[in-house]
Structure 1
């Protein structure tokens, strides 16, 4: 990932999908990959998410142990989830062999 902001955005977007679709192994694996990037490349820890009617807020500790917060509009974070909900036939969960 190019930046912490991009990594947080990508992780949060797929985490929302993964949380909504717990049987979606591809979403779970992708969420784990982005989560690992946050820890391994950016040394982010203790991530917490909150949301209101307009925004998602991501609270986290940086590599120096300082608590930080960033925010993302819900409409941007939920675009993938909404697409899946609107066209479920295109996003079928396939069982693992």
Structure 2
């Protein structure tokens, strides 16, 4: 089974209303894909847009290992995976948090 790994790290000003993160996705031993996102928690459309970008980035990371496999996780699964990893890093002030998903 292929494993997708997501590492989230909060960057930028930790006291700001604007949250900034760096997400790195990798599948097995393939080259990782990195994404930087920025949003205000009060703006749902910014969060949704950021999560859409995370899904696209995760699919690219999976495709580096197996292009056919990139279609299998649902958008919902990748969105929840990205969001939970991102939230785990929210109060860590730059400490990376990593999660793994079997695809």
Q: TM-score, normalised by structure 1?
A: 0.36
Name the larger-Rg structure: 1
Q: TM-score, normalised by structure 2?
A: 0.35
Counting helix residues as a fraction of each chain, which structure ranks higher? 1
Counting strand residues as a fraction of each chain, which structure ranks higher? 2
Q: Which has the higher contact order (CA 8 A, sep 6+)?
A: 2
